Amino acid sequence: MKKIPEDIQELDKKIKMLRRREKKKQTAVSSNEYSYAAHTGFRIATELVSGVIVGAAVGWFLDQMLNSSPLLLIVFIMFGGAAGFLNVYRLVKEKEKSEE
């Protein structure tokens, strides 16, 4: 088994200390449950809307280039919506994991 150098051990201790500080600050800031819920709601809405907007933009651009209006626009709006839902799912799983 290799011995871990002291400077790496010190760095690891500093990282752990900073993570504890950051976690304390995050809990202090988000102590109000309504502000936490509002923050999470806005984040979810942003994820969903941005996925659809990016999908629509890509679909419109490809439709303009390939003269296939509105086929690719519709397809990419659906892909954008699916991507938005996938991002929300990942967000929820991340929140569940951090609460454990």
- Which residue in 54, 42, 43 sits closest to 83, CA to CA? 54
Instruction: Output the pLDDT for position 29.
Output: 55
User: pLDDT tens track of the chain, all 100 residues?
Assistant: 567 778 888 888 999 999 988 887 776 555 577 787 888 899 999 999 999 999 999 999 999 999 988 999 999 999 999 999 999 999 999 888 877 7
Enclosing H/E stretch for 96: helix 71-99
Instruction: Output the pLDDT for position 56.
Output: 95
Does this model's pTM top 0.75? My answer is no
